[in-house]
């Protein structure tokens, strides 16, 4: 197929101003006085059940990130959300002290009022789940993350994940991938308000190896979609991921023709590349399946690019991947400068922190102590990624809509420090780009910047298309008081951090030819640089946001820190560069006898209160 390399960019022409959204809604009700967390078994059957993990989740004030959400195509009152949910981590108490031995798992957040409120739950199968649903989960690990969601057109919802961690407590990270399935308890003919309510089981679609520290064979960066076209492949479920080994990665896909009960053997989509990830799946109105992914630079000269592969036989075979567009990446990075402290005697609060790897020469995120970097900045990891979708209700065009967030041409600057977004010492501004790929012709439109701003970074975009309207949202730092292309989001020159991120969104009613003026979605600007991970040493924001839609109805979700309680890290006898602003409330005791700090003795007091919020979008 023809390869289209596009290095220039245009600016999207604004349409009329879109209506502003409403009040932000919290999906993760993990605080006293809220509706708390209810078992999936209770949600489906009405029969009471609880356990130590669910009780902890109801009061945890814990961490959640990497949200997903999808609206029921049969009833826009029903939405299902998810995230990496750490609410159960402190479910074990030893001598009156919470100890971090509980699971990091997939949340299941359900709304039956169009997103006005959500009931929080967990996907069954987590360690400590002894409900009647636990036996239906084919899960062999102690943790799960990277949630992805898709509905079919018959009341079923599918939730995919990567899954790691050894229940025996070793450092093994299995790296499995699995798909959980839910349906209407009364079947397809049941009242649609109950769509996706009854859990029916989880199927493991691929197994990783058991090497420690995410090494060996590790499956990650998941994607899922279902065919809702009404065609010959209607109801098929497609699940894709990146398979990482020590020196390379590849994209795989499986499909299910029996509503997620079983899946095909993994199909290799990439064969000659060595650095690929962030797959996403789009199904066009004629039932063709497209997988997009990001290809990274390698020593062989392979450029950074958005790449696409096509299947015309319901995911059984794929064309050779084709480059859609190349780009200059925006990847936060610095030079590590560890400053060790005595380790805590208690267990760490997140032994399976997303993205933990063996030590490298370049850091993707920076904070305190062993996570300290030369620049002194505190920042979360971020890399350029691509998201894609198609309008399955469009029976005329075979179009795939793609958004991605690279460096904006012409914004490169010297940072004057070891920090960089292109390379250490070289910074830039990031922006959200859009292009429309024509699957029938194998060509794409010239990429455009959706909302061209001189101030602020744009990152983690997502796009949804259904019923003739495109909806896009992203994180945006135009309200960052310290903005500079030479520094990480929310940092001033001295390394002090501040609230700096909002969600913005836009829409198009003419297939991406024109876009409405972007609207701020969030009610509160939030600080993403709180050090809540790796034993309160580093920030982590996850890797993506999510938007779902049907016609003019659209709902987006994001990670949020408005409820985080700032505080003092007692281990910092001399305050470091972030000068209190990135430190969170915590309680620690130093033992001179053994020369070590305790773990955090007050994890329920708000220092790790990271949440998922959502709202209707333009």
Is the confidence at residue 351, as pLDDT, over 90? no
Each residue's pLDDT tens digit, 223-270: 999 999 999 999 999 999 999 887 789 999 999 999 999 999 999 999
State the alpha helices, DSSP H only, in 447-580: none
User: So what's the pLDDT on residue 104?
Assistant: 95
pLDDT digits (tens, 9 = 90+) for 138-155: 899 999 999 999 999 999
Whole-Å CA distances, 49 to 41, 44, 92, 120: 7, 11, 19, 14
More confident residue, 146 or 358: 146
Is the Cβ–Cβ distance between 6 and 447 less than 8 Å? yes
The C-alpha atoms of residue 189 and residue 546 are separated, in whole angstroms, by 29
Residue 69's pLDDT is: 98
In the block, tokens 């090494």 appear at 215
Mean model confidence pLDDT for the chain? 92
b or e along 121-142 (b: 16 or more beta carbons within 10 Å of the residue's beta carbon)?
A: bbbbbbbbbebebbebbebbbb
Average pLDDT over residues 203-219: 79
240's CB contacts (< 8 A; 6+ apart) are 222, 223, 224, 251, 252, 253, 254, 269, 279, 280, 281, 291
Mean pLDDT computed over 210-232: 86
Q: What is the mean pLDDT of residues 65-87?
A: 98
435 three-class SS: strand
Short-list 482, 347, 342, 327, CA closest to 411: 327
As a whole number of Å, the CA-based R_g of the chain is 23
CA distance linking residue 133 with residue 136, whole number of Å: 5
- Write a three-state SS string for 511-529: CCCCEECCEECCCCCECCC
The whole-angstrom separation of Cα 448 and Cα 294 is 18
Beta carbons of 614 and 556 less than 8 angstroms apart? yes
pLDDT at residue 10 above 70?
Answer: no
- For 33, residues 6+ apart whose C-beta sits below 8 A from its C-beta are none
Mean pLDDT confidence for 342-365: 65
For the chain, domain boundaries = 1-32+332-343+363-618, 38-47+82-231+239-270
Which DSSP category does 19 fall into?
Answer: P
């Amino acid at each position: 197929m023809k390869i289209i390399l596009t290095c220039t960019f245009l600016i999207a022409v604004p349409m009329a101003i879109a209506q502003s959204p409403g009040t932000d809604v919290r999906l993760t009700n993990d605080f006293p006085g809220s509706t708390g967390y209810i078992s999936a078994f209770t949600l489906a059957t009405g029969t009471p059940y609880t356990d130590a993990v669910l009780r902890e989740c109801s009061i945890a004030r814990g961490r959640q990130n990497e949200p997903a959400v999808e609206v029921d195509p049969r009833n826009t009152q029903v939405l299902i959300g998810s995230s990496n949910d750490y609410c159960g981590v402190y479910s074990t108490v030893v001598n009156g002290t919470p100890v971090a031995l509980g699971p990091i798992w997939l949340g299941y957040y359900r709304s039956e009022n169009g997103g006005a409120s959500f009931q929080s739950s967990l996907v069954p199968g987590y360690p400590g789940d002894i409900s009647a649903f636990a036996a239906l989960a084919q899960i062999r690990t102690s943790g799960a993350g990277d949630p992805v969601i898709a509905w079919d057109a018959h009341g079923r919802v599918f939730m995919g994940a990567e899954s790691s961690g050894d229940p025996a407590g070793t450092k093994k990270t299995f790296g499995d991938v699995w798909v959980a399935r839910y349906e209407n308890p009364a079947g397809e003919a049941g009242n649609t308000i109950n769509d996706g309510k009854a859990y029916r089981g989880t199927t493991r679609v691929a197994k990783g190896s058991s090497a420690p520290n995410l090494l060996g064979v590790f499956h990650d960066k998941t994607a899922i979609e279902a065919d809702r076209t009404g065609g010959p492949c209607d109801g098929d479920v497609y699940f894709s991921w990146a398979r990482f080994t020590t020196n390379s990665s590849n994209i795989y896909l499986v499909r299910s023709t029996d509503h997620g009960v079983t899946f095909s053997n993994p199909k290799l989509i990439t064969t000659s590349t060595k650095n690929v990830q962030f797959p996403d799946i789009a199904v066009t109105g004629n039932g063709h399946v497209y997988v997009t992914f990001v290809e990274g630079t390698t020593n062989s000269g392979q450029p950074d690019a958005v790449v696409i592969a096509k299947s015309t036989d319901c995911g059984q075979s794929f064309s050779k991947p084709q480059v859609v567009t190349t780009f200059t990446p925006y990847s936060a990075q610095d030079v590590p400068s560890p400053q060790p402290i005595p380790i805590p005697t208690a267990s760490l609060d997140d032994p399976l922190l997303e993205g933990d790897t063996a030590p490298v020469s370049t850091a993707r995120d920076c904070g305190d102590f062993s996570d300290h970097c030369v620049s002194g900045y505190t920042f979360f990891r971020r890399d350029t990624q691509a998201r894609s979708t198609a309008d399955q209700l469009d029976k005329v065009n075979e179009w795939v809509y793609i958004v991605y967030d690279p460096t904006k041409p012409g914004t490169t600057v010297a940072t004057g420090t070891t920090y960089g977004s292109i390379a250490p010492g070289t910074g830039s501004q990031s922006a959200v780009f859009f292009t429309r790929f024509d699957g029938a012709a194998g060509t794409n439109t010239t990429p455009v910047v959706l909302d061209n701003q001189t101030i602020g970074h744009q990152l983690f975009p997502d796009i949804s298309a259904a019923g003739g309207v495109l909806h896009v949202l992203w994180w945006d730092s135009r309200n960052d008081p310290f903005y500079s292309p030479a520094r990480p989001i929310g940092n001033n020159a001295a390394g002090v951090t501040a609230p700096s991120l909002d969600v913005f969104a836009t829409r198009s009613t003419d297939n991406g030819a024109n876009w409405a003026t972007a609207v701020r979605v969030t009610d509160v600007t939030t600080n993403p640089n709180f050090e809540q991970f790796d034993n309160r040493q580093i920030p982590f924001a996850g890797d993506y946001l999510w938007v779902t839609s049907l016609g003019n109805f659209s709902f987006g979700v994001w990670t949020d820190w408005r409820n985080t309680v700032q505080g003092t890290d007692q281990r910092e006898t001399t305050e470091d560069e972030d000068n209190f602003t990135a430190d969170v409330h915590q309680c620690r005791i130093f033992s001179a006898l053994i020369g070590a700090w305790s773990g955090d003795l007050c994890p329920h007091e708000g220092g790790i209160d990271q949440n998922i919020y959502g709202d209707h979008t333009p």
